[in-house]
């Protein structure tokens, strides 16, 4: 979540761009991201230098290799490409270094043919004047980049300024919601993880951080380490700018060569990725519809609809291997929609696969972007059924106020969601799970598959919740009428 201090710093940078002549908000966001990426590269190189000096060894995998040349122009020492060096140059010299040397350099980063290299080949430096660049570099110097997805924070706050952010679906999922989904799905070192609507790659970044924290054995095993850096993370996004931002974000979080591709997930045939992944983490767009002509025929064969949220669910079932699991945010309409497509998809999740949980989120979770009520679906692809009971949880507070300001508060159900979920028994003995004995009046409870089928595969929590009504004893109406008549006589007198 963006802090007040970070908001203030971003506002200053934003205003500098606008007063400097860049009025396109997406161009502002992209140029800021490039500069923060360059700044972080310097910080990573400094860390490597310090480690090498401490150990008395040469730098391993330096970001800025010695002896590098620029693109045919006058040679500069590699050190001049580092933020900590050029930030002290005069405005014009700084401008020339970034334009003629730094940007050509970052376009060469990444392995040849990698998705990062493909995304970055179109990176362009568009800040118009040395004076504006110098001012922006000074302002960005105060923004910390260590141990956090700061670029994602900035992007989240920037999009709040865009009038179209709630219409085109380009808004980030708050990190505490991402973390809950990652913690509940518990990625493993052998997982192949995909987000088919990746944006800034927030889900993939958090999954990577989870693996670092919970599976240190990755770094002692060459096979697992190579899998982590090359095959573990895949993200698709139809926006070229988002693909570039996602690529930079993953690289800055220590993933050397993930697959972050510009790709319209719903408008492609999926034979190259079908049955490839073991974990889907996503918050796909559900702000609009697609024409049948632009939608992949294999998805329409699963569910005939123009609703993007249903098509993405169909896509996830195609992408997953049998045994693969998914955590996906959907609008409430998916849970109880009455169209044939809605019912077909819900029946498919319950009957053909294993629907594990429905976690209902508060309606203000995605403010200020949208007030749409949402839920998280957790399911496992089996292609042979397996749903016995579905766990429902009604999240009433997520640690922030549910208005547009989203101010931190003490009320937070998310730790309880995770604790209860992780306490479920392994091996199918659901009757030993304390949740099995919780009444329907509680905040969480289990619902057997038979009851869901009887309700036409309705997955809305309120369909199964029981409301406790307090018994109120009312006075005899004759007594009340007598009192009213007495009052009326008093008024007349």
Question: Does the pTM of the predicted model rise above 0.85?
Answer: no
Report the percentage of the chain scoring pLDDT > 90. 46
Q: Predicted confidence band at 90 (pLDDT cuts at 50, 70, 90)? A: very high
Helix (H, G, I), strand (E, B) or coil at 155: helix
The Cα–Cα gap between 416 and 342 comes to 30
Q: Which residue has the tokens 């409870």?
A: 445
In which element (H, E) is residue 412 found? strand 408-412
* pLDDT score of 275: 87
User: Which pLDDT tens digit goes with each residue over 179-226?
Assistant: 999 999 999 999 999 999 998 888 999 999 999 999 999 999 999 999
Q: How buried is 272 (Cβ within 10 angstroms: 0-12 exposed, 13-18 middle, 19+ buried)?
A: exposed
Q: What is the mean pLDDT of residues 412-421?
A: 96
- Please write the tens of the pLDDT for every residue from 16-69: 998 888 878 778 888 888 888 888 888 888 888 888 888 888 887 778 876 554
For residue 287, pLDDT beyond 70: no
Label the pairing between strands 320-331 and 277-282. parallel
* Overall average pLDDT of the 272-298 stretch: 79
Q: How far apart are CA 234 and CA 382, in angstroms?
A: 22
In order, the DSSP letters of 34-81 are: HHHHHHHHHHHHHHHHHHHHHHTSPPSS-SS-TT---SSSS---GGGG
Confidence at residue 14, expressed as pLDDT on a 0 to 100 scale: 86
Strand partners, 376: 329, 359
Q: Which two tokens stand for residue 87?
A: 């930030």
């Amino acid at each position: 979540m963006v802090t007040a201090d970070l908001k203030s710093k971003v506002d200053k940078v934003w205003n500098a761009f606008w007063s400097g002549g860049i009025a396109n908000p997406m161009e502002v966001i992209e140029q800021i991201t490039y500069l923060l990426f360059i700044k972080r590269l310097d910080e990573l190189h400094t860390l490597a230098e310090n480690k090498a000096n401490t150990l008395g060894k040469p730098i391993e995998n330096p970001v800025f290799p010695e002896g590098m040349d620029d693109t045919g122009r006058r040679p500069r020492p590699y050190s001049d490409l580092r933020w900590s060096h050029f930030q002290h140059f005069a405005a014009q010299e700084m401008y020339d270094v970034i334009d003629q040397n730094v940007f050509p350099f970052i376009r060469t980063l990444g392995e040849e043919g990698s998705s990062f290299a493909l995304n970055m080949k179109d990176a362009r430096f568009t800040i118009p004047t040395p004076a504006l660049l110098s001012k922006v570099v000074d302002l960005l110097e105060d923004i910390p980049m260590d141990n956090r997805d700061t670029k994602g924070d900035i992007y989240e706050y920037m999009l709040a300024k865009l009038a179209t952010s709630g219409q085109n679906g380009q808004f980030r999922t708050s990190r505490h919601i991402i973390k809950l989904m990652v913690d509940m799905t518990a990625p493993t070192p052998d997982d192949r993880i995909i987000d088919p609507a990746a944006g800034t790659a927030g889900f993939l970044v958090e999954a990577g951080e989870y693996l670092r924290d919970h599976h240190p054995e990755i770094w002692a095993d060459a096979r697992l380490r190579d899998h982590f850096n090359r095959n573990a993370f895949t993200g698709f996004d139809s926006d070229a700018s988002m693909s570039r931002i996602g690529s930079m974000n993953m690289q800055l979080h220590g993933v050397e060569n993930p697959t972050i591709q510009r790709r319209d997930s719903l408008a492609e045939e999926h034979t190259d990725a079908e049955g490839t992944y073991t974990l889907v983490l996503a918050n796909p767009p559900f702000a609009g519809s697609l024409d049948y002509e632009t939608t992949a025929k294999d998805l329409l064969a699963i569910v005939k609809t123009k609703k993007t949220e249903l098509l993405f669910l169909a896509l996830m079932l195609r992408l997953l291997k049998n045994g693969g699991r998914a955590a996906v945010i959907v609008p409430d309409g998916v849970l109880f929609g009455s169209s044939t497509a809605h019912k077909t998809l819900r029946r498919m999740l319950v009957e053909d696969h294993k629907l594990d949980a429905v976690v209902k989120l508060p309606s203000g979770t995605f403010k200020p972007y949208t007030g749409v009520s949402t839920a998280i679906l957790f399911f496992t692809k089996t292609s042979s059924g397996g749903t016995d009971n579905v766990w429902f949880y009604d999240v009433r507070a997520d640690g922030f106020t549910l208005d547009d300001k989203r101010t931190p508060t003490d009320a937070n159900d998310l730790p309880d969601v995770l604790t209860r979920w992780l306490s479920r028994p392994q091996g199918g003995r659901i009757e030993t799970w304390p949740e099995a004995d919780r009444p329907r009046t509680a905040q969480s409870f289990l619902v057997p598959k038979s009851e869901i089928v009887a309700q036409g595969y309705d997955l809305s929590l309120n369909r199964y919740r029981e409301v406790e009504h307090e018994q109120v004893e009312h006075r005899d109406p004759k007594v009340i009428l007598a009192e009213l008549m007495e009052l009326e006589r008093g008024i007349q007198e």
